[in-house]
Each structure stands twice: as structure tokens, then as C-alpha cells.
Amino acid sequence: MYEGSLQDLIDALGKLPGVGPKSAQRLAFHFLQTDSATVQNLANLLLEVKQKVKSCKTCGAVSETDSCNICNDTRRDVSIICVIEEAKDISSIEKTREFKGRYHVLGGVISPIDGIGPDQLRIKELTSRVTNEEIKEVIVATNPNLEGEATAAFLVRILEPSGVLVTRLASGLPVGGELEYADEVTLGRALKGRRQVS
């Protein structure tokens, strides 16, 4: 235990994802030894992201404006939507360069244990996009684990009446894994070989 604000900082850092008590202490001492300007800059950035970054009204990705860069990009194929769990999955899929459509962020997966059902996810927004935009295909790219598969099965059912083509990433992704950890080649292949599920 340290005195006052140093301990407060260690405690606060320790609450961050992936930071244990030891790393929290290391980070806190790192800040202590860093010059004030650098620390000030970091503090400003933290506040700035909170104020500036919102989510795109269309796809739910992070964006500083109401419409994100990908939704604004006229070169992208507006007839295909790739559905993902979290905004961070976009960068994994973008890296493969296999996908030229637009995205839809669900904001999680169906998981009753965590109190998350369809109403807690951006599923209504998805169905209204499918009805109102000229969508030909929806690629469901939720993670290949139990909750991801359950969510995919639910989306297939919900989207069926609209007649849109629904596809799922090809197998080959490690079962039980997450997109975030799949390498570009595997993920690219999974996108290319996607199969119809609707």
C-alpha cells in the first residue's frame, strides 16, 4: 500500500481490462517518472476520446461524426453488410482486404447469463437496414463459439422473411475462438468461402 493519490491511481489502473495489480503498480510508477507534459497530453487524449468519439448512426462503429468513414465511402458496396459483435472486429476484417461492403455492429452476443437478449443488441437496427436499404447479402461474422453461433442462428431466423441472402463465415476458424485472434489469412479464407445459411 502506498499513500494517497499514488495508491488511488494504482487501484484505478488495476480496474482496467487485462491489468493486474503488478502491472498497475508498474504503470503508476512509470507515470511518476514521466515528464508532466507527456502525462498532461495523455490525460487530455483520454478526455477527448470520451467527448469526441461517438458511434456511427448507421453501423454502430466508432466515429467522430454521425456517419463513419466506411459508411461514407462511396466506393464501398452498399448491398452487403457484415454483422460483427464489437466495433473492434472491423479492423480484423479490414486487414484481410477481402470485404468491400459495410458493417453492422451488434454490440455483443445473445447471452442470458449476462442478461443479454435480442433487445439489448442492435438487432432492430439491422432488420430496418435490411428493409430500407438495398441489401442483397448479410454476412454473419459473430465469433465461432456457443454464444456467437446462437446469435447467428437467431439472426438467420429473423432475417429469413426479408428474403435477403444470409451467409456465415466458412469453418476453418478455430472453434471456440474469437475473430480478434484469427490471423489474416485464415479470416480472409473464411470470408471468401462463406456459406449460405438462410
Q: Does 3 bind other proteins (CB under 8 A)?
A: no
Choose the one of other proteins, Zn ion, none that binds residue 59, judging by a C-beta under 5 to 8 angstroms depending on kind: Zn ion
Amino acid occupying residue 40:
Q
Compute the radius of gyration of the chain from its Cα atoms: 20
Q: Give me the least distance between CB of 158 and other proteins, in Å please.
A: 8
Q: Does 118 bind other proteins (CB under 8 A)?
A: yes
Question: Do residues 55 and 107 make contact, with C-beta atoms less than 8 angstroms apart?
Answer: no
Q: CA 20 to CA 97: how far, in whole Å?
A: 35
Q: Which of 58, 92, 96, 142 touches Zn ion by CB under 5 A?
A: 58
Which part of the chain contacts other proteins (CB under 8 A), choosing from 5-13, 45-53, 68-76, 152-160? Answer: 152-160
The residue whose grid cell reads 456465415 is: 168
Looking only at the bridges linking them, the beta strands covering 54-55 and 62-63 are: antiparallel
Q: Does 178 bind other proteins (CB under 8 A)?
A: no
Choose the one of Zn ion, other proteins, none that binds residue 58, judging by a C-beta under 5 to 8 angstroms depending on kind: Zn ion
Of the pair 141, 155, the CB lying nearest other proteins is at 155
Question: Do residues 113 and 134 make contact, with C-beta atoms less than 8 angstroms apart?
Answer: no
Q: Does 82 bind Zn ion (CB under 5 A)?
A: no
Among the listed residues 111, 103, 114, the one whose alpha carbon sits nearest the alpha carbon of residue 141: 103
Contacts to Zn ion by CB under 5 A: 56, 58-59, 61, 68, 71
